């Protein structure tokens, strides 16, 4: 590592600083390499690529991929590439909303329970346990079937409601163990207030944990959505990856050897999951100064 920084320009310094974050951190790099294109595809894609034929019967059905239709068309005559772009966005949104809401609730409740202790802890813990006991999947199925007009935001909220207990439980035990650590005592002796201790002492040590819980919540929600769609439940008004898979199965895409219909959504889902895991591993490495070189 050359130390003569005086010969470098500020831009070079900046590049160096940013690249040092990735030094030896393959997970972070790989994770970002996978996720950035997908997010790009979902959120920027519809504005860049020519959007066409999202309406039914816009084109002839079951066309294989061609320069005009990158992923061909489906049985309803829609351009599959367009469908994919919109589906990726919707699925990501579901995951992000459900993940964020679930994590925020879980972190807040888990934190409060762990730090405050006493009656508050008992109450929160019991509520969390009740939610944990409820079998998520059957309940989702029942609710989806019952609430015929389930919108995307409603679905995301429902999924969040099932993901927060796990996070809360995990956060609570993390806080409990951190609470007794020497540096918390020292922080109190040094005059830090409870709020400062929570945000400045405890929270930074939990960022990677929260990241992991968020990743789990997000992927869990996305997976639940796919599961619901495949069995015919869940909202049908917006395009999601799950819905795309559903229609592919409904119209026997596999039998018709239309791999260009069923493969892309599956690959996208797998990529999102793997990307999130890699990103978490990379962030964990980043946040833990002891693991940094």
Binding region for other proteins (CB under 8 A): 181-183, 185-192, 201, 204-205, 287-290
> Is the CB of 60 or the CB of 289 nearer to other proteins?
289
> Is the CB of 185 or the CB of 257 nearer to other proteins?
185
Q: How far is the CB of 274 from other proteins (least distance, A)?
A: 28
Q: How far is the CB of 184 from other proteins (least distance, A)?
A: 9
Q: Are 246 and 74 in contact (CB under 8 A)?
A: no
> Is the CB of 48 or the CB of 186 nearer to other proteins?
186
> Is the CB of 252 or the CB of 288 nearer to other proteins?
288
Closest CA to 221 of 141, 142, 157: 157
> Is the CB of 111 or the CB of 260 nearer to other proteins?
111
**Rounded CA gap, 113 and 270, in Å?**
35
List the Cα angle 179/182/185 in 5-degree steps. Answer: 70
Q: 230-237: long-range contacts (C-beta < 8 A, 24 or more apart)? A: 231/141, 233/141, 233/144, 233/145, 233/150, 234/144, 234/150, 234/155, 235/150, 235/151, 235/152, 235/155, 237/151, 237/152
Q: How far is the CB of 277 from other proteins (least distance, A)?
A: 23
Q: How far is the CB of 75 from other proteins (least distance, A)?
A: 55
Q: How far is the CB of 190 from other proteins (least distance, A)?
A: 5
């Amino acid at each position: 590592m050359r130390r003569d920084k005086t010969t470098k320009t500020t831009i070079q310094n900046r590049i160096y600083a940013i690249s040092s974050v990735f030094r030896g951190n393959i997970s972070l790099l790989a994770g970002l390499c996978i996720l950035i294109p997908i997010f790009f595809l979902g959120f920027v894609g519809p504005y860049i690529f020519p959007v066409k034929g999202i309406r039914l019967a816009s084109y002839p059905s079951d066309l294989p991929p061609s320069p005009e239709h990158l992923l061909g068309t489906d049985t309803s005559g829609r351009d599959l590439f367009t469908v994919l772009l919109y589906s990726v966005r919707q699925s990501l949104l579901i995951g992000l909303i459900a993940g964020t809401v679930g994590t925020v609730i879980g972190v807040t409740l888990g934190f409060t329970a762990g730090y405050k202790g006493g009656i508050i802890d008992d109450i929160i813990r019991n509520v969390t346990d009740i939610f944990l006991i409820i079998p998520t999947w059957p309940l989702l199925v029942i609710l989806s079937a019952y609430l015929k007009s389930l919108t995307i935001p409603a679905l995301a909220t429902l999924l969040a409601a099932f993901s927060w207990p796990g996070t809360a439980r995990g956060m609570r035990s993390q806080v409990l163990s951190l609470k007794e650590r020497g540096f918390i005592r020292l922080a109190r002796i040094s005059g830090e207030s409870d709020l400062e201790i929570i945000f400045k002492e405890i929270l930074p040590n939990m960022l990677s944990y929260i990241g992991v819980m968020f990743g789990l919540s997000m992927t869990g929600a996305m997976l639940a959505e796919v599961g619901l769609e495949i069995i015919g439940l869940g909202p049908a008004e917006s395009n999601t990856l799950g819905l795309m898979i559903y229609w592919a199965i409904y119209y026997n895409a596999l039998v018709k050897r239309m791999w260009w219909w069923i493969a892309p959504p599956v690959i996208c889902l797998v990529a999102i999951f793997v990307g999130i895991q890699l990103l978490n591993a990379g962030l964990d490495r980043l946040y833990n100064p002891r693991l940094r070189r």
